[in-house]
Amino acid sequence: MKDELDLHLLVQFVVLARTKNFTRAAEELHLSQSALSRAIQKLEDQLGQPLFERKPREIVLTDLGGLLLDRAKEILKLMEDTFSELSEAGKRGRVRLGAIPTIAPYFLPTLLASFAKKHPEISVIVQEDTTDMLIKRCSHGEIDVALLALPIITRQLDIEPLFDEELLLLLPLGHPLEAKKKITAESVNGYPFVMLNEAHCLSENIASFCRKQSVQPVTIERTSQLATVQELVSLNHGVSIVPEMARKIDTSTQRTYRSFTSTKPSRTIAMMWNPDRFLSKSTKILMDHLRQQRRVTQKPAA
């Protein structure tokens, strides 16, 4: 084809094929007969073959015209369905929110409950994944915004710190460290640790803290779920370091949490999105809601 296909030409072609008459088709389309004739001629020129046979009383589709009619109806129906779906989605509002496993079950329930109360017209679809996978999915447009912990290594995505969160020492009930008035990084040196798999950024947060304090934790077990870490600690498999948000929803009486009294380990929760992709109004509203978390946390991000 010499030029790109114009959907308006397809609409005019379908109406003419149905009415089989230039005058009736032009009236239905609110066009002059000459304008419709020029439009059909342009479409035939693009395809390089005639679409109609002009007869005295009516016009009849050629074989090519019949083939185009079937395709044109499919294309126009698809366009109509797409616009209807997008229009409905725009009214309803939908945001795809990604989050790492050490944030999603602890932070999102309260956050999403407050968001739904303020914005019942917007649905939030949560997709939990590791940091590396969320970076890829955000880059490809599979999610709109993601919640992760720094550091995040990426060049094409925007990152905005939201708040800092303390990391707490997790102990089984009755552990010797439970009675100590002051707990430093050196206090836990030599105790067996239960940790998350290395794919989780929390493991790197903990390892970085230990390196800075010249402490080498003895990791005896690794798991993929923070809840499993908590249960293993309760069963005296070792100690661990976990986010404060995990303590806030923990109802178990078989474990206890302590703050470090000198240098406190922490992590920074951040928001990530792709600046090269369209941000819907609903996404921007959710992002503003996430920014408000700075006001409800003890320590705002630097």
pLDDT surpassing 70 at residue 78? yes
Separation between Cα atoms, residue 93 and residue 89, nearest integer Å: 6
Taking a C-beta distance cutoff of 8 angstroms, is the pair 2, 45 a contact? Answer: yes
Taking a C-beta distance cutoff of 8 angstroms, is the pair 68, 47 a contact? Answer: yes
Exposed e or buried b per residue across 149-164, where buried means at least 16 C-beta atoms within 10 angstroms of its C-beta: bbebebeebeeeebbb
Question: Bigger pLDDT: 119 or 6?
Answer: 119
Q: What is the pLDDT of residue 185?
A: 85
Which residues neighbour 158 within 8 Å (Cβ) at sequence distance 6 or greater?
Answer: 272, 273, 274, 275
Query: What kind and span of H or E run contains 267?
Result: strand 266-273
Question: What is 7-91's CATH number?
Answer: 1.10.10.10
Is-same-fold flag (7-91; 165-267)?
no
**Confidence band for 300, pLDDT divided at 50, 70 and 90:** very low
Q: What is the pLDDT of residue 301?
A: 42
Mean pLDDT for the stretch of residues 155-176: 94
Closest CA to 1 of 65, 71, 52, 48: 48
pLDDT surpassing 60 at residue 129? yes
Q: What is the pLDDT of residue 298?
A: 47
pTM: predicted TM-score of the whole model, two decimal places: 0.66
For 138-202, the DSSP string reads HHTTS-SEEEEES----SSSEEEEEEEEEEEEEEETT-GGGG-S---GGGGTTSEEEEE-TTSHH
Structural domain spans, the chain: 7-91, 93-162+268-296, 165-267
- Give me the chain's average pLDDT, please: 87
Over the stretch 80-118, which tens digit does the pLDDT of each residue have?
Answer: 777 756 665 555 688 999 999 999 999 999 999 999 999
Over the stretch 238-284, which tens digit does the pLDDT of each residue have?
Answer: 999 999 999 999 999 999 999 998 789 899 999 999 998 888 888 99
Mean pLDDT for the stretch of residues 129-134: 92
Taking a C-beta distance cutoff of 8 angstroms, is the pair 249, 113 a contact? Answer: no
Query: What's 93-162+268-296's CATH class?
Result: alpha beta
Over the stretch 208-249, which tens digit does the pLDDT of each residue have?
Answer: 787 777 777 767 778 878 999 999 999 999 999 999 999 999
User: Cis omega before residue 275 (within 30°)?
Assistant: no
Query: What's 165-267's CATH class?
Result: alpha beta
Over the stretch 6-43, which tens digit does the pLDDT of each residue have?
Answer: 788 899 999 999 999 999 999 988 889 999 999 999 99
**φ, ψ of residue 269 in degrees (nearest 5):** -85, 130
